[in-house]
Amino acid sequence: MKKSNLMIVGVVVCMLAACGSSEDVDVVVAGMMTGSDAVPEKDAKCMAKNIKKTASDDQWNLLVKINKDEMSEQDMSMDEAMGLMAPTMAAAAKCGVKLF
């Protein structure tokens, strides 16, 4: 009986961790909601989650660093900036957000 309860609790914790919002997603959402091209919170959450799914780990980490102010957008190379365009555009299309 104890083992089954422990297993159920473990499964629930794993499901909540997988479905919940993580700190890096929250940072990117906050960055999308500020500035001249600000996106509403609902759209920003949708886009951030979709970008995380489609971007490579390096691209995602770069986006998080920019939104944490650990680096500026001007520090990105042209290749890095162009690489982030595809996941961003795909996320915008999936979430119904007009970027321009």
Residue-wise pLDDT tens digits, 18-73:
444 588 999 999 998 887 788 899 999 999 999 999 999 999 999 999 999 999 88
Would you say residue 12 has pLDDT above 50? no
Q: Residue 88: CB partners within 8 Å, gap ≥ 6?
A: 47, 51, 99
CA dist 48 and 57 (Å) reads 13
Tokens of 65: 């660093």
Q: Is pLDDT larger for residue 99 or for residue 38?
A: 38
Tokens of 39: 């996106």
Backbone angles phi, psi at 20, to 5 degrees: -75, 170
Residue type, 54: T
Tokens of 30: 């906050």
